[in-house]
Structure 1
Amino acid sequence: MSKRKAKSRSYSSRKVNTREVRQRFLIVCEGEKTEPNYFRSFRVPKVVIDIKGLGANPSKLVKSTKEFSQQEDYDQVWCVFDRDSWTEEDFYRAIKNAEAQGFGVAYSNEAFELWYILHFEFLNTGISRSKYLEKLNALLAKKYQKNSETIYEEIFEKQATAMKNAQKLLKQYNPHNPAKDNPSTTVHLLVKELNKFIR
């Protein structure tokens, strides 16, 4: 009888380990299409990614993220938002509130498109959103489609360059102030986590 119980425990353990291989991510984005489309393109078969595009200001996004995170069990929870025209106070408060909840923060100052540009070149001069789009048109050698569903594949081969450029950019700011550090981004931190599960 004791042997049967031992086998039962062993089998149960194997089943649990199999389930534990799958990671569950919650990624809540300020943008309704641009960021969600990008992160949905990651080929991570061992990861369940729940992506929500809210179209809300940073503070409201963090508040909603907390509510979403309580509805399911997630291994990682991330907030993705831009500096845009939001107030410095709101942007800073959102980052601090997210970190206090244990959420990862993938922010961009000024816009998410900075992450795309860093795939091609190092940019350490603050420019307007319209200039981001003009620059991407030139770098892509075609008109940049803001809500593109293929941008991930188009620039994937340059991702390692983007990671290095994003890290280099952050190191330039001392002291570090996300609301004032224009340009800057931490999108590479979320990308790094997702890349751990790419097959």
Structure 2
Amino acid sequence: MARKVKFSDAKREKFSRIDQRRKRDTRNMRQYFLIVCEGAETEPNYFEGLKDDLPKGTLTTHQIEVQGTGRNTQSLLDEAMRLRAWMQKYSTRKVDRLWIVFDKDSFTAQDFNGAIQRCHNEGIGCAWSNEAFELWYLLHFDYFENGMGRDVYKKMIEDRLKSSLGNSFRYRKNSPNMYAILRKFGSLEVAIRNAKRLAKKYEGDRDYSSQNPCTMVFALIEELINLDS
């Protein structure tokens, strides 16, 4: 049986406070974005960094909640839907937009493709990466079309950042600083452009498991940075 996300008393109190504020002033009700990630730290850390960098006023009109689960593919989607239902029931507010973030890694083509298709059927945003989330990091520097495994990403990230951070720099998967590092020494605009170019290469292909390298993280990023403040 899948392990359910557990909520601490502090988290429950947070949702309760949010709901009370909403009830006191409906004129200022914010849109609610829920981002549920496969990784417990890597992806949530990145998106928390992005939240802090959004245009002034965005977080006044939009609440963006990021959850890391340690799940993957189909089980991640199941958990995201349970989490959305739980939040809507507990806080009595609608989740306006649900996104999930996960990698291909070594999961079967059936699981990977099936999860993506389910997201499309359910109207859920799906920021998948093939083969790993770190592909999104590399696209801040270069465009490339050669498929590679997760182990190669680490060295490539280090090679591109050592000129700025020194030869002693080592990429640490769960670093809380990767968004800030990439924003300073790479280019978010370049990453979006490179990711779109890769996606266009596979346009019309529904075998997502064979699209290596490719990532749809750019779609979630664009949606967040273009929110009206």
1:185 matched residue in structure 2: 215
1:56 is aligned to 2:83: no
Measured in 1, the distance between the counterparts of 2:227 and 2:180 equals: 17
Measured in 1, the distance between the counterparts of 2:161 and 2:127 equals: 23
Deviates more, 1:88-97 or 1:70-79: 70-79
Measured in 2, the distance between the counterparts of 1:112 and 1:89 equals: 20
1:117 is aligned to 2:127: no
Measured in 2, the distance between the counterparts of 1:161 and 1:182 equals: 19
Measured in 2, the distance between the counterparts of 1:146 and 1:40 equals: 15
Displacement of 1:174 = 4.7
Question: Which of 90, 105, 125 is the matching residue for 1:104?
Answer: 125
The CA deviation string for residues 61-117 of structure 1, in whole angstroms up to 9 with x for no partner, is 001111111122211100100000000000011011122221100000000000000
2:14 matched residue in structure 1: none
Counterpart AA for 2:146: T
Measured in 2, the distance between the counterparts of 1:112 and 1:198 equals: 27
1:74 matched residue in structure 2: 95
Displacement of 1:17 = 3.8
Measured in 2, the distance between the counterparts of 1:140 and 1:75 equals: 37
Deviates more, 1:43-52 or 1:155-164: 43-52
Query: CA distance change for structure 1 residues 194 and 174 in 2, over 3 Å: closer, same or farther?
Result: closer
Displacement of 1:187 = 0.1
1:27 is aligned to 2:49: no
Question: Which of 95, 98, 106 is the matching residue for 2:116?
Answer: 95
Displacement of 1:148 = 1.1
Displacement of 1:154 = 1.2
Measured in 2, the distance between the counterparts of 1:103 and 1:152 equals: 24
Which runs of 5 or more residues in structure 1 are unaligned?
Answer: 1-14
Answer 1 or 2: which has greater helix percent: 2
Higher Cα radius of gyration: 1
Deviates more, 1:124-133 or 1:67-76: 67-76
Counterpart AA for 1:29: C
Counterpart AA for 2:172: Q
CA RMSD of aligned residues (A): 1.6
Which runs of 5 or more residues in structure 2 are unaligned?
Answer: 1-24, 89-93, 163-168
Measured in 1, the distance between the counterparts of 2:228 and 2:212 equals: 31
Question: Which of 162, 165, 168 is the matching residue for 2:197?
Answer: 168
Displacement of 1:197 = 3.6
Displacement of 1:193 = 1.1
Measured in 1, the distance between the counterparts of 2:211 and 2:204 equals: 10
Measured in 1, the distance between the counterparts of 2:202 and 2:80 equals: 28
1:37 matched residue in structure 2: 45
The CA deviation string for residues 119-175 of structure 1, in whole angstroms up to 9 with x for no partner, is 000021101111100100101112111111111111125000000000001111254
Ranges of 4+ aligned residues in structure 1 off by more than 3 Å: none
1:6 matched residue in structure 2: none
Measured in 1, the distance between the counterparts of 2:118 and 2:204 equals: 20
- Identity, in percent, stands at 38
1:7 matched residue in structure 2: none
Displacement of 1:198 = 8.2
